[in-house]
Structure 1
Amino acid sequence: MTRRANRWNGGVIAAVAFASLSAPSAQAATPTLPAIFPAPTTMTLGDGAIALGRPVTLIVAPGTEPATAALVRTLLAKAGIREVATASRLPATPDRPTIVIGPDSAAIVREALARSGATAEDRTEGYTLTTRSTGAGLITLAGHDADGLFHAVQTLRQLLARPTIPALTIRDHPAMPIRGTIEGFYGKPWSMTDRTRHLDFLGEMKANTYVYSPKDDPFARDKWREAYPAATLSELGTLVARARANHVDFVYAISPGPSICFSNPADEQALLRKFAALRGIGVHSFYVALDDIEYQKWNCDADKAAFGPSGAEAAGVAQSKLLNAVQADLLRQDPASRPLIMVPTEYYDAKESPYKAALRAHLNPRIVVQWTGTDVVPPAISIPDAKAATKAFGRKTLLWDNYPVNDYASSAGRLLLAPYAKREAGLSSELTGILSNPMNQEAPSRIAVTGVLAFGWNDKGYDADRTWHYAAHDLAGNDARATAALLELFDTQHLAPTFGSQPWQEQAPKLKALLDHVREALANGDEAERRAAIAALGHKADALADAPDTIRAGVADPGFAEQAAPWLDAMQLWGRALQQTAAGLDAADRGNPAATRYFADAKRIAAQAAAVQTIPGATRFGGPVKIADGVLDTFVADAPNLIAVTAKP
């Protein structure tokens, strides 16, 4: 993913020498349907392919954003395309592959689509990408709007990673209007570098929303009435510009709930002043968070006089009054502003309550309401669950999915790296969108967030495991060894806890299957099966022990290795403990008394592994790092008792 760090700077890049695309040779491989993530709405394979080899012509239609055209040139250069010519019209008989990019309203784009037998996508953020292999080859990127054209270029980025681009037609648009992340966790906020990289990642994954809402930003919560220092405001302005370059909406969230007096005009004005300051650096989307506050008592006596005795219903009325005033001011300041977003105090479950009834009755219907599902960290979300939320809040909700966030006690010591799963296909019909609440560790968060974004784009075409593998492949910079090593790590961090007693993702399923097989082979008494199982265990132990070094050397984004460092250290030690365990089982099976020493070494190394600590201050709850806990540690402890350690006569 370091490709993102050097991607582009948003400026127009001058035409330089490129290597290029050419028509396929007679020996070209049979074209195959490419894997694109997020999965497109429709993708149809044609005949033939366009292979790398000759110069290309690039036609940029009127209405194309200069930065989008510059990004295409950058991607072509990274694909090794060394020569490019420019033109303003399609030649009758192109003598070289031709790329046409632009809005689908442009005449030359419509002509290119017609030549390819394709039609424009007419949905918001939609695009058509079609490649025609006849003649010299024609590639057309037609965006329904500026966002759609940017998304089309992100699809081209993935196609350019292949040695040939097959003839195909993609018509694509997002299933959910809002897709992205909310930096809404407790504990150490992301650095500005983290946020910059994350915004680039969101752009590549066709996301369109980033909510700035770190709970530990004092000027957004405890000191919400106070102005940001000039330096901080300048940094936020830089992020806003980076978001815009990635076609991501930067949403500023404020959390006044712990101290606000809802009936006090001065507090309302303080909130509007804060939003006005953010508007001055280019923010046009705003959010008021009223989660994790006490609503059974007022913060001021004036609210009792204005709304009556404290309680859930009165809180709903008071919050609605404030939010309606904010929404009205946003429209006065900017008639084109996006709707205000709020997260309610009752932000999970969809049970009827006086609070929800008050929001239904009093909250401006334009305001978007967030909802975390059936629980704070829900094990699953179904269409009936979302329908119940629509009924409870009086509008379709914006899902705040608390995965892969790890700021709660039962997630201590974990990276949450399982696939994004157990969200029902078809939820797009009952949600306005989906935002993932990621971990304090930004780079590791991208594994699960890739799934969230792919689900939001095309929930009906989403495949959890394939998207998970893509995330590993992308992080590995397309390196096969690094990808395999990452998947080994991901399996040891597969458990996903909830606020209940049972996790919603099982722990280390692939490793557990192998260890269970070893136990069964030892129990069955067949010598050949036993020897084969122990050998397989040794290979797995080697893979676990070697994976951390491969990851450190092979990941495209060094931030991942840095933020996951304690887990890599612990994984390497657990791998070595399993190596000694496998050696002990093999020795015991052969009647070698050295088995006792191997098992003792395994126990010693396992103790070292279990003592590895998380990075101090990195997460809200630190402590010992957990690696396939309940699976790997249990097997290492049990192994000496699975086979008799005696010398054969």
Structure 2
Amino acid sequence: MRHNRIFGALFSSIVAAASVAASAASAQPATLPALFPAPTSITLGDGAITLGSSVVLVAAPGADAETLALVRKILASAGVKTITTARRLPALLDRPHILVGTGDAAIVRDALARSGTTVDGNAEGYTIASLAQGSGGLITLAGHDGDGLFHAAQTFRQLVQRSAIPALVIQDHPAMPIRGTIEGFYGAPWTMADRTKHLDFLATVKANTYVYSPKDDPYARDRWREAYPAATLAELGTLAATARRNHVDFVYAISPGPSVCFSDPADTQALERKFEALRGIGIHSFYVALDDIEYAKWNCEGDKAAFGPSGAEAAGVAQAKLLNAVQANLLARDPASRPLIMVPTEYYDAKETPYKAALRKHLDPRVVVQWTGTDVVPPAISIPDAKAATKAFGRKTLLWDNYPVNDYAQTTGRLLMAPYARREAGLSSELTGILSNPMNQEAPSRVAVTGVAAFGWNDKGYDAQRTWHAAARDLAGGDARATAALLTFFDTQHIAPTFGSQPWQEQAPRLKAVLDGVREALADGDAAPRRAAIAELSGWADDLTNAPDIIRSGTVDPGFAEQSRPWLDAMQKWGRALQLTAAGLDAADRGSAAARGYFAEAKRIAAEAAAIESIKGATRFSGPIKIADGVLDVFIADAPGLIAFDRPAGG
């Protein structure tokens, strides 16, 4: 694939940051590794450690067996052939030694002291200390708790992708207690296989929460009072086990709002009975969704008698009564249970209303309230916005961020793959966490979710663009050519719509910059810049045309290629139309009558590309695929008028 100058410069820097030359580590200066999410702090020391083919793995007492298995897998992926186990550290480190454990083990504390540090003292926190010594060295993975140790292993997974691990100390912990996704979209839910892959992915980005809330699960919404069939219950139990293995809290959400009778003890008992059945398969975190319902009418006469005429304030009182009973039951069943989560009927904005006032007054303070920001799909979220929500609901809220969800009309024909942006650094001071509502397409959702998780982990150290590049690199399996192809594709899906007419992220900014540059060069009229711009355009057209085949070639996650199939098909055709457009401009610039044929063929292929439809049933709204719309299509349509091509040759 012929890379344009922007992506060429970009990936020379990425490769330089991600790897070192294949010479001896001792001859290399220590360089700061690129890690995502960004650690709280990282300090370089002297020297570096090359793992080589043989290491010693030391498990501290109480180290989690599954985390140890993950470390073994990471070492094998880094080319380590022989892993010898030991119970203690020798005085002389003749080979690389990897120590794994939590800070309550003396051996871990002693090892950290060699690097002059201690274990991070925050929940889910960890410390990594690497110390080079002669031909060996010591790498200590120390967790404050079991979750922290698991997160340390995920950071270690990134470190071993270098040929040498620099001597360093990483102190790290999350800024927000809750970080992850809520499968809360309308339309086709994920398959159980999709969910399993997603839980594995969440572990890699240090997310800790997945909320099961598909709108199309009848036993969670329309038939919420009914027990799950045994087969479905078993599948949910398997998912919960996968979540535990990945240190992700599996939260089950139920949506009784359309039919619940708040005053009827039988309905409260039905909720508790449902949760008890799920507790039996290993699910211990629960959620009651009261979004997308009306409070203009009651579902039963009993509620009118108990709470008075229907309306916003009465709904808040009734909902609080139900939720408080459920929260009390959860604590009675399990005093160590996580707090109940709810999403209110007024789930966006922070304006004072009778409904919010009722919730604030009556709802148990332990219950976590979700909030989507200043709108259903907010273009930005600031610290003052979150402070207003804290005041309105009487507690810090859990942000339900409706990005990159594509289940509303403005997203028809789109994948949303712009970086996660326009959320203010410092929001961690006013939020209990962030849950992303992803797309119906699980693998493409990871692009944005990587950013959401990184922001939730370290909002003050978050870099949207660099995290976006890291998401592409992970999907590409580290292959630079495939990473560049993915970023070319992402650029064509950069727009982020809102419920209004104005998107909160623009479409195809990199491609638009190139096309604008071509227009400007042609408008200036100077021959050399004009020819250079047409040549650059031809290179970009090649990138667009070739990217789909590279994405499908095997290094990129196969699920991504399959779920993006019509978009890749359309992108290839649009790329071909741009190739013909570039050829037409070149012919016109040389005064060749062939320009007319090139432009006509470009127009024909562009029409074919614009007619490609999304996969029926895959999303709530089906329709024509959008590829850099408003940018690429406009340029191809305008191109025949940019250079007069009916003049005689040499004219």
Superposition TM-score, scaled by structure 2 size: 0.95
Q: Does 1:167 align with 2:172?
A: no
Correspondence list, 1:207-286, <5 A: 207-286=207-286
Correspondence list, 1:307-386, <5 A: 307-386=307-386
Task: Name 1:413's counterpart in structure 2.
Answer: 413
Secondary structure of the residue aligned to 1:166 is: strand
Secondary structure of the residue aligned to 2:552 is: helix
Task: Name 1:630's counterpart in structure 2.
Answer: 630
Report the AA paired with residue 263 of structure 1: S
Task: Name 1:101's counterpart in structure 2.
Answer: 100
CA shift, 1:555, in A, is 3.6
Task: Name 1:16's counterpart in structure 2.
Answer: none
User: 2-side partners of 1:246 and 1:53: how far apart?
Assistant: 28
Q: Is the 8 A contact 1:412 1:623 kept in 2?
A: yes
Of 66-75 and 310-319, deviating more is 66-75
Secondary structure of the residue aligned to 1:470 is: helix
Q: Does 1:69 align with 2:55?
A: no
User: 2-side partners of 1:53 and 1:331: how far apart?
Assistant: 51
CA shift, 1:28, in A, is 3.0
CA shift, 1:89, in A, is 1.2
Task: Name 1:500's counterpart in structure 2.
Answer: 500
Q: Does 1:591 align with 2:588?
A: no
Task: Name 2:455's counterpart in structure 1.
Answer: 455
Q: Is the 8 A contact 1:24 1:48 kept in 2?
A: no
Q: Is the 8 A contact 1:131 1:140 kept in 2?
A: yes
CA shift, 1:606, in A, is 0.2
Q: Cα 1:340–1:26, aligned 2, differ >3 Å: closer, same or farther?
A: closer
Task: Name 2:560's counterpart in structure 1.
Answer: 560
Task: Name 1:574's counterpart in structure 2.
Answer: 574
Report the AA paired with residue 33 of structure 1: L
Q: Is the 8 A contact 1:36 1:158 kept in 2?
A: yes
User: 1-side partners of 2:547 and 2:54: how far apart?
Assistant: 41
CA shift, 1:26, in A, is 6.9
Task: Name 1:10's counterpart in structure 2.
Answer: none
Task: Name 1:5's counterpart in structure 2.
Answer: none
Task: Name 1:33's counterpart in structure 2.
Answer: 32
CA shift, 1:52, in A, is 3.3
Task: Name 1:120's counterpart in structure 2.
Answer: 119
Of 551-560 and 456-465, deviating more is 551-560
Task: Name 1:46's counterpart in structure 2.
Answer: 45
Q: Cα 1:294–1:478, aligned 2, differ >3 Å: closer, same or farther?
A: same
User: 1-side partners of 2:127 and 2:480: how far apart?
Assistant: 31
CA shift, 1:638, in A, is 0.7
1:59-89 Cα shifts (integer Å, max 9, x gaps): 1001111111111111111111011211111
Q: Is the 8 A contact 1:585 1:639 kept in 2?
A: yes
Q: Is the 8 A contact 2:26 2:48 kept in 1?
A: no
Report the AA paired with residue 72 of structure 1: V
Unpaired runs of 5+ residues, structure 2, are: 1-21
Secondary structure of the residue aligned to 1:542 is: helix
Task: Name 1:602's counterpart in structure 2.
Answer: 602
User: 1-side partners of 2:491 and 2:137: how far apart?
Assistant: 43
CA shift, 1:96, in A, is 1.4
Report the AA paired with residue 102 of structure 1: G
CA shift, 1:301, in A, is 1.1
User: 1-side partners of 2:274 and 2:555: how far apart?
Assistant: 40
Q: Is the 8 A contact 1:104 1:144 kept in 2?
A: yes
Secondary structure of the residue aligned to 1:137 is: strand
Q: Across the two proteins, how many residue pairs are aligned to each other?
A: 627
1:290-323 Cα shifts (integer Å, max 9, x gaps): 0000111111111101000000000000000000
Task: Name 2:83's counterpart in structure 1.
Answer: 84
Report the AA paired with residue 103 of structure 1: T
Q: Cα 1:409–1:30, aligned 2, differ >3 Å: closer, same or farther?
A: same
Unpaired runs of 5+ residues, structure 1, are: 1-22
Q: Is the 8 A contact 1:24 1:51 kept in 2?
A: no
CA shift, 1:117, in A, is 1.4
1:332-377 Cα shifts (integer Å, max 9, x gaps): 1111100000000000000000000000000000000000000000
Task: Name 2:15's counterpart in structure 1.
Answer: none
Q: Is the 8 A contact 2:59 2:99 kept in 1?
A: yes
Task: Name 2:300's counterpart in structure 1.
Answer: 300
Q: Is the 8 A contact 1:419 1:468 kept in 2?
A: yes
Task: Name 2:128's counterpart in structure 1.
Answer: 129
Task: Name 2:11's counterpart in structure 1.
Answer: none
User: 2-side partners of 1:25 and 1:197: how far apart?
Assistant: 37
Report the AA paired with residue 376 of structure 1: V
1:474-526 Cα shifts (integer Å, max 9, x gaps): 10001011000000000000000001221000000000011111111111111
Q: Is the 8 A contact 2:222 2:258 kept in 1?
A: yes
Task: Name 2:141's counterpart in structure 1.
Answer: 141
1:379-431 Cα shifts (integer Å, max 9, x gaps): 00000000000000000000000000000000010000000000000000000
The alignment yields a C-alpha RMSD, in angstroms, of 1.1
Secondary structure of the residue aligned to 1:624 is: coil
Report the AA paired with residue 61 of structure 1: A
CA shift, 1:54, in A, is 4.7
Q: Is the 8 A contact 2:215 2:221 kept in 1?
A: yes
1:576-632 Cα shifts (integer Å, max 9, x gaps): 000010011111111100100000000000000000000110000010000000000
User: 2-side partners of 1:252 and 1:192: how far apart?
Assistant: 14
Q: Is the 8 A contact 1:555 1:561 kept in 2?
A: no
CA shift, 1:24, in A, is 8.9
The percentage of aligned residue pairs carrying the same residue is 77
Task: Name 1:531's counterpart in structure 2.
Answer: 531
Q: Does 1:612 align with 2:612?
A: yes
Task: Name 1:546's counterpart in structure 2.
Answer: 546
CA shift, 1:38, in A, is 0.4
CA shift, 1:554, in A, is 3.9
Q: Is the 8 A contact 2:389 2:397 kept in 1?
A: yes
CA shift, 1:27, in A, is 5.7
Task: Name 2:441's counterpart in structure 1.
Answer: 441
Of 237-246 and 515-524, deviating more is 515-524
Report the AA paired with residue 520 of structure 2: E
Task: Name 1:644's counterpart in structure 2.
Answer: 644
User: 2-side partners of 1:565 and 1:149: how far apart?
Assistant: 38
Q: Is the 8 A contact 2:25 2:164 kept in 1?
A: no
User: 2-side partners of 1:24 and 1:302: how far apart?
Assistant: 78
Report the AA paired with residue 489 of structure 1: F
Q: Does 1:511 align with 2:485?
A: no
Q: Is the 8 A contact 1:585 1:643 kept in 2?
A: yes
Report the AA paired with residue 578 of structure 2: L
User: 1-side partners of 2:490 and 2:23: how far apart?
Assistant: 39
Report the AA paired with residue 28 of structure 1: A
User: 1-side partners of 2:524 and 2:357: how far apart?
Assistant: 62
